[in-house]
Amino acid sequence: MGRFPLFALFREAKNVFTKDELGLEIAHIAIPSALALTADPIASLIDTAFIGHIGPVELAAVGISIAIFNQASKIAIFPLVSITTSFVAEEEAAQKSFDDIEEPGHGELRKDLALNNNGHEMEELVSLIDKLDSASSSSSITSDQSDMIMLEHVRRHIPSASSAMVIGSMLGLIQALFLILAAKRILNYMGVDSNSPMQKPAMQYLTLRSLGAPAVLLSLAMQGVFRGLKDTKTPLYATMIGDAANIILDPIFIFFLKWGISGAAVAHVISQYLISLILLWRLMKIVNLVPPSIKDIQFSRFLKNGFFLLVRVIAATFCVTLAASLAARHGSTTMAAFQVCLQVWMATSLVADGLAVAGQAILASAFAKEDYNKVTATVSRVLQLGLVLGLFLSFFITIVLKLSSKLFTKDPHVLDLMSLGIPFVAVTQPINALAFVFDGINYGASDFAYSAYSMVFVAIVSIWCLFVLSSSYGFVGIWIALSLYMTLRTFVGFWRVGTGTGPWRFLRD
């Protein structure tokens, strides 16, 4: 690759859909992760559809409240989730206990277990190792399958998991108190003052939904642990169960009990606590969440790297929140149309985040092992898959959203504005997909500092564009600025890997 490491990104493009070992590993992580990531935005879309039938003012109020809640949640938890995924993957790669089990020298491990065998659990583990030996010798079990079997039977000590749980719980409580106590001031800052008809319903929704913040942040922290273990199916199942409960409770609380938007908020809070409980129950079976000592709670390690991602996520989410604020200042009709388009934009774009999660988990492990051939192959494959996925989503949205717009609202003015936003939502899908994938690639390389600094640059340019274009072109100007924002995010990702700088210097060899 030498002087042109950018060529590595397009290596063997014809094999993008090949079902080889790497392709299957990516699919095993990415597909459940993508489904889990899109489940919550889809549930929010269903919330939006139910609330849209109450009225455009309520729809706009919920839109601005969701933007505020998401901004606070991302600032509080996104750095923690990303760091946890990388740290857990690195710790898993560094541990040699399972590698020892796969080697012929199982006798010594059995001896160690026997010496410490004070109960039935150790006998079962020794029996499990015998079964793995027999299955491996007959080639009836793959390494991935044996890894999952061991996950089911061995509660491992992973310091990052305990740290993430403690920090996530603390951040959730702080966020809930902050949003409840400062709800009115935050809404005023977002352009929803006492003269706005949106203020009262927005206050109700934001205050009630904030009660679920501890559950949201704790569940996301646990999802980071599962991602690091390359288990994205468990978060998917938990999220699907929680969101199904949300969808069932929505019409009951909103229309049958006549709680209106308060009912939508309560349904969402219940679903989040359900997800958190399921993940906690499952995680306690495979990871020892009680650290041997306070030294195992790696606050300093998390804070050091978390600061960079905190800067990044503030810069990134501020752009989207500012866009929502500018839309709200144009009135409830503009905000209602913006809310629907934004929810669709985020829900579909997050499909690509499944590839980002797969790339991050695989790359963190490969970098820890200094397996640069796998690093290069993984980067190439996830980027190619991201581009293909983005093109598919672009086509899908163009067709489906035009046909389903009336599911969200019957207001003709809102529908007219939505028709102007749909082309932007559709056309930017390939760009969004690549931007998300590059995020995962840089996190997998633990390139947190560059991720932060580059996003600050992107945010400064994007904020300027938002103010200028929204004042000149209104609703359309906001979407032009958001499109430029995602394009710049993709560009800085290409620049880092394509120029072979930072952790990507090996591409020049």
* pLDDT digit string, tens, across residues 114-168: 444 444 444 444 454 455 455 444 444 444 444 444 444 456 677 778 788 888 8
Residues 339-356 pLDDT 10s: 888 878 877 777 788 888
Would the pLDDT of 106 be above 80?
no
- Between 270 and 412, residue with greater pLDDT: 270
* DSSP string across 126-139: HHHHHHHHHHHHTT
Q: Which of 33-47, 81-95, 159-173, 434-448 has the lowest mean pLDDT?
A: 33-47
Would the pLDDT of 174 be above 60?
yes
From first CA to last CA, the distance across the chain in angstroms is 7
Q: Is residue 249 a contact partner of residue 192, using CB atoms and an 8 Å limit?
A: no
Q: Model's pTM, two decimal places?
A: 0.71
Of 76-85, 116-125, 262-271, which has the strongest mean pLDDT?
A: 262-271
Average pLDDT over residues 438-448: 88
Gyration radius (Cα) of the chain, Å? 24
Is 435 in a helix, a strand, or coil?
A: helix
Give the residue from 349, 346, 352, 359 showing the smallest Cα distance to 34: 352
Residues 457-475 pLDDT 10s: 999 999 999 999 998 888 9
Band (pLDDT 50/70/90 cuts) for residue 13 is: low
Residue 14 has a pLDDT of: 64
CA–CA distance, 56 with 368 (Å, rounded to integer): 52
Residue 464 has a pLDDT of: 96
- Between 479 and 114, residue with greater pLDDT: 479
For residue 124, give both structure tokens. 């079962």
Task: Name residue, tokens 């990415």.
Answer: 30
Task: Name residue, tokens 């600025």.
Answer: 481
Residue 34 has a pLDDT of: 77
Would the pLDDT of 417 be above 90?
no
Would the pLDDT of 484 be above 90?
yes
Task: Name residue, tokens 């939508």.
Answer: 264
Would the pLDDT of 279 be above 60?
yes
